[in-house]
Amino acid sequence: MDTTLQDPLVGQVLDGRYRIDARVAAGGMATVYRALDTRLDRVLALKVMHPALAGDGSFVDRFIREAKSVARLDHPNVVQVFDQGTDGSYVYLAMEYIAGCTLRDVLRERGALQPRAALDILEPVLAALGAAHRAGFVHRDMKPENVLIGDDGRVKVADFGLVRSVDTVTSTTGSVLGTVSYLAPEQIERGTTDPRVDVYACGVVLYEMLTGGKPHSGDSPAQVLYRHIHEDVPPPSALVPGLPFELDELVASATARNPDVRPHDAVALLGQVREARRALTEEQLDALPPQALTAEHDNAEDRTSVIPRALTVPRPLPVGEDAAADGVHRTTRLQSPPVPGRRRPARPRRATVAVLAAVLLALGVGAGVWYINSGQFTKVPPLLTKTEAQARERLRSAGLDVGEVKRSYNDTVDRGTVVSTDPAPGTRIRDHDSVALTVSLGPETVKVPDLRGRSLAGARARLKSAGLEPGMVTREFSEDVARGSVIATAPRAGTERHAGSAIALTVSKGSPIDVPDVTGDDLDSAKQELTDAGLKVRVAPQRIDSEYDKGAVAAQSPRDGGQAAEGDTVTLTLSKGPEMIEVPDVVGDSVDDAHDALEGAGFEVDEDRGLLGLFGDTVKKQSVEGGDKAPKGSTITITIR
């Protein structure tokens, strides 16, 4: 059973054009579906804003801005947007569909990557961002989730929903949009965004690809934000010994806390990446990373969030509490959470609780949301992509019970992780109410049926009934399988494959027949000989000049010595007869000149010297007189005296 059938949009047609076939991914602001454009008959991705947000003008503006921005970026490494529109309460973008996975999926499965693989992914990402920067846009939300890797190996940048023009006013006073682990210091402190914030995020992504983990971690998102401002990104070689210093320098350049020290845009960083690659040996590029010993990935810090500016604006300290030796009093940009072994000024417990509550509320993490004067309610925590054990623990921590646990096949969610909850994440429910979970069984698999001996039509029907798709058909000769029947499948019968996989078929052409040579024969004789051999005959409409008589077979396909199957067609091309051309007059010429003239005209030459011409060098006679015509390729005899 496909869990996407539980989604009310699956099976619907939006805007009279886009048929929604399956849900691919769900986020906090939109859901992405695989859909069919019934007008152009092409598969695409449909990004549909959650109806609850469609009434918020700022979110709708983001959707429209994403469509307009990407429409201006005609770049092979940018996911293209084809259309934008609304249908009732649904606001959607029609986008290019990329069959594959995200960089986050790769990192989650493999941990650290080889340097060559990391650079192979980073270069097209920077090329895409460079095109955006040169077009006047800043992405503002670069992270592994927004790097798509197609099944064909193409790398594309997605989700320009937070894109902003370079020349827009960039100082914000209300909140900062972005993802905690990839925010540049100036974004956190001042809300400033220019191309260098994308450069910083790409530096963090490169660090993550080289080491398998993020450079800054913490017990809370607030602590991560604090470290972005106050701590340099460590060199990757500190975690993965043996990484060349060129990669350390690349990460340090991209993630410099002072934006003036960073490359000014993605194009400049791309130049540095290519210089670093040229400096590395093949052995350094292909060095295998150690097995990643990273903690289980929790994507709470990987979500695009609205971060209250109250948590990121400068907060002056009382005089004397943080004075440097030079007498200048520093200003901390973000209150740091407690660090073991470090004392900090006492503060009222009420203020501490208020700050933590604001962080949890803004970033969508933690056990729930507190309601003033209503302590009996909470919200369903975000559980999608969590393991069943993690989901159960989070529900217990939130004061909720685990209800019915259903299991279903799913092509996009890993086995053992949560596909959906009932009620949905964020829903307000009473304490100790139960939440039902749907857990993925992974992709549904089916066995390839034994199709040997079936007709092609029968084999295709059998594959479809088994939940598979007929794939490419190749034909081969077979002595023991009848013509038109299946010889084998690829993969072979009994192999397990995901439902919907394409299965290649090899179909018999029957026993091979040696094609007889009928060139030079008259047409009736040629037809009879080929028909007796079990072959069909087709006569080509055009005729060609040849050495054979007019109307005889001048050429055949397949040629003599080739093989065909019973019932195959042999094409015959008939002769127009030999081409008649004028013979040059060579009487009186030297023997060499006569050869040159006759052979140049297309004739063969034979010499008749006799006893009197053994030592002669002059042509006294020719078998066909000059000016007369003879068949091209025929032999002209010259008499020499």
Query: How many residues can be counted in the chain?
Result: 641
pLDDT of amino acid 85: 87
| Positions marked active-site | 141
Going by C-alpha positions, the residue among 316, 320, 353 that lies closest to residue 335 is 316
| pLDDT score of 290 more than 80 | no
pLDDT band at 66 (very low <50, low <70, confident <90, very high): low
pLDDT of amino acid 111: 87
The better pLDDT of the pair 324, 72 is held by: 72
> pLDDT tens-digit profile of 515-550?
999 999 999 999 999 999 889 999 999 988 888 888
pLDDT of amino acid 356: 31
| pLDDT score of 311 more than 70 | no
Edge to edge, the sheet with strand 469-476 lists: 469-476, 502-508, 486-490
| pLDDT score of 154 more than 70 | yes
Question: What predicted TM-score, i.e. pTM, was given to this entire model?
Answer: 0.48
The better pLDDT of the pair 376, 336 is held by: 376
Decide the pairing of beta strands 315-316 and 401-408: unpaired
Task: Give the max Cα distance, the chain.
Answer: 134
> pLDDT tens-digit profile of 32-44?
999 999 999 899 9
| pLDDT score of 570 more than 80 | yes
Least confident window among 73-77, 294-298, 299-303, 344-348: 344-348
> pLDDT tens-digit profile of 382-411?
898 889 999 999 998 888 999 999 988 877
| Average pLDDT rounded to a whole number, residues 292-302 | 45
pLDDT band at 127 (very low <50, low <70, confident <90, very high): very high
Helix (H) or strand (E) holding 64: helix 57-71
| pLDDT score of 49 more than 70 | yes
> pLDDT tens-digit profile of 586-601?
999 999 999 999 999 9
Going by C-alpha positions, the residue among 204, 334, 185 that lies closest to residue 258 is 185
> pLDDT tens-digit profile of 193-239?
899 999 999 999 999 999 999 999 887 888 888 899 999 999 999 99
Q: Which residue has the tokens 């084999």?
A: 459
Helix (H) or strand (E) holding 600: helix 591-601
pLDDT of amino acid 198: 95
pLDDT of amino acid 334: 33
Q: Tokens representing 587?
A: 């009487």
* Residue 408 β-bridge partners: 440
Rounded CA separation 33/38 (Å): 15
> pLDDT tens-digit profile of 434-443?
999 999 887 7
Rounded CA separation 246/275 (Å): 9
> pLDDT tens-digit profile of 470-518?
988 888 899 899 989 999 999 999 998 877 788 999 999 888 888 999 9
pLDDT of amino acid 28: 66
Rounded CA separation 356/220 (Å): 9
> pLDDT tens-digit profile of 136-153?
888 888 999 899 998 888
CB atoms within 10 A of CB 614: 9
Edge to edge, the sheet with strand 30-37 lists: 13-14, 18-26, 30-37, 42-49, 90-96, 81-87
> pLDDT tens-digit profile of 78-124?
988 888 888 888 889 899 998 888 899 899 888 899 999 999 999 99
What counts of helices (H) and strands (E) characterise the chain?
Answer: 14, 35
| pLDDT score of 568 more than 90 | no
Q: Say what percent of the chain tops pLDDT 70.
A: 81
Complete domains list, the chain, with CATH: 1-97 (3.30.200.20), 101-292+299-318+332-338+349-365 (1.10.510.10), 372-443 (3.30.10.20), 445-508 (3.30.10.20), 512-574 (3.30.10.20), 580-640 (3.30.10.20)
pLDDT of amino acid 549: 87
pLDDT of amino acid 202: 98
The better pLDDT of the pair 530, 164 is held by: 530
Average pLDDT, the chain: 80
| Average pLDDT rounded to a whole number, residues 439-462 | 90
